[in-house]
Chains A and B, each alone.
Chain A
């Protein structure tokens, strides 16, 4: 164990951990939203994210930028990032909706047992992964450099790059926005009603199918935003990027209490941080192991996760 490494690298480990955690959190929200309403673990959500990472890179490619082009000006970079966020969010949201309408909705119509949904989810996940694998010849695709890699500001030994700053601010805006939407708007109330009691929600005039579709789209939008920042953080993407990231984000959702929105946000951030501190302590080859060990240990003591289950059951 290398405590010196942890202490020395603490500020940087915290920043990069928060950034990775924000990406986990945004993806985790999609798992938790769908679970909250349908009690279904949408394993295809990892591919919704994966397709978003390509959506962003294709958007940049449409403006003539690839991994070899030099960084454009800051203003132009911000504009390109904003465009990529919109494009990736729309693409991921549409893919999520497509999965719901073509894969899950027919099963619900026939009152299929839960196992059928689970198998369908895994099938949809592989289908999308292989589709993208074929389209991209299973190559790693680079993402252009957009914002300068130098330090934006530093306090003491704590330095933050523009990409990190942007990731964290946008992630916070998205999460606060989603929280507001679910807790304060009429549609959000419909989501919470279906999550708490679907039959009674129908008796209030809530269209369950529409709520379910909305939940898939919301999860997809969040995953699309995460995808853009994942591209900028790692500098590339691949058809199978969703597998591990999706698994981690799902763990984050479980860590926070699946079905609980704020739980997913906190679980994601925590997982990002713990992973980073742990890999400094034990060596980075242990990174993934640490994440899952933390999950298992926490679930032993708090089986329903940090904040407990259910969408809006407790308002907090």
Chain B
């Protein structure tokens, strides 16, 4: 098991936002975490990447307990994240943003190889490589955030709302790329409001409601589950 979360609890001030979440991600999978606004999806991501301290439970990654590890050290262990809101560095060029992804890596030849791989996945980023990150369109920033997370060479790639704010055609495109990244060997945990796309691409999924996991299953199972259909897929 690559990622194993057991009874995870997290406090925002005095309010408990996650009430004991358990989930796991196997090597090579795409796992989708779906749920409404405020269900705790982004909070779960922040707990996994270490941006927010947890108040209970444990997070095991690649065989070790990382529950109390600093966020920057989790990156070195192999947890890469494309954060909510993309987090593009506005004053850095596209190329510098991508280089930031390789901040902890030393092998220049290896980095160059990954950069070529990212430009191959996102030719648009190559066209814009000298442009400041802040001047990109929403879709381009999303590509940059995903590409930059890949530059950390993650064992587990966390994607927080990759489809947010994108036109339907671009959503389709970004999910195709996510599938391609997975086929090239990267395990993915994906948080999405676009449940349709996420579940049809994912091997397995979890449904999060107000800080609790209420359902789990394969992508197809959840996609055809009546309750999920009604709540998240907009069909009665």
B-side contacts of A313, CB under 8 Å: 90-91, 134
Residue of A nearest to B77 (CB): A205
B72 touches A192 (CB 8 A): no
Interface members, chain B 37-79 (any A CB < 8 Å): 49-51, 70-73, 75-76
Return chain B residues, CB-CB under 8 Å to A314. 91
Q: Could you tell me the distance between the alpha carbons of A189 and B100 in the complex, rounded to whole angstroms?
A: 8
* Cβ-closest chain A residue relative to B75: A205
Binding site for B on A (CB under 8 A): 186, 189-190, 192-193, 196-197, 199-208, 310, 312-315
**Residues 144-179 (chain B) with a chain A CB within 8 angstroms:** 148-149, 152
B81, B92, B93, B134: which contacts A203 (Cβ < 8 A)? B81
CA distance A189 to B51 in the complex (A): 20
| Complexed CA–CA distance, A192 and B100 (Å) | 10
24 contacts between A and B (CB under 8 A): A186-B103, A190-B103, A193-B89, A193-B92, A196-B89, A196-B90, A196-B92, A199-B51, A200-B88, A200-B89, A203-B49, A203-B51, A203-B75, A203-B149, A204-B148, A204-B152, A205-B73, A205-B75, A205-B103, A205-B104, A205-B152, A313-B134, A314-B91, A315-B93
CA–CA, A315 and B49, complex, Å = 29
Q: What is the total number of residues of chain B having a CB less than 8 Å from a CB of chain A?
A: 30
Q: Which of B8-52 contact A (CB under 8 A)?
A: 49-51
Of B49, B80, B87, B103, the contact of A189 (CB 8 Å cutoff): B103
Count CB-based A-B contacts (< 8 Å).
Answer: 75
Contacts of A203 in B (CB 8 A): 49, 51, 71, 75, 80-81, 83, 87, 149, 152
* 4 A-B pairs with the lowest CB-CB distances in the bound complex, closest first: A200-B87, A205-B104, A205-B75, A313-B91
User: How far apart are A184's CB and chain B's nearest CB, in angstroms?
Assistant: 11
Binding site for A on B (CB under 8 A): 49-51, 70-73, 75-76, 80-81, 83, 87-93, 96, 99-101, 103-104, 132, 134, 148-149, 152
A315 to B132, CA, bound (A): 9
Of A202, A205, A206, A312, which is within 8 A of B91 by CB?
A312
B98 CB, min distance to chain A CBs, angstroms: 10
B104 CB contacts on chain A under 8 angstroms: 204-205
Check if B90 sits within 8 Å of A189, measured CB to CB. no
A207 to B73, CA, bound (A): 8
Q: How far is the CA of A206 from the CA of B70 in the complex (A)?
A: 10
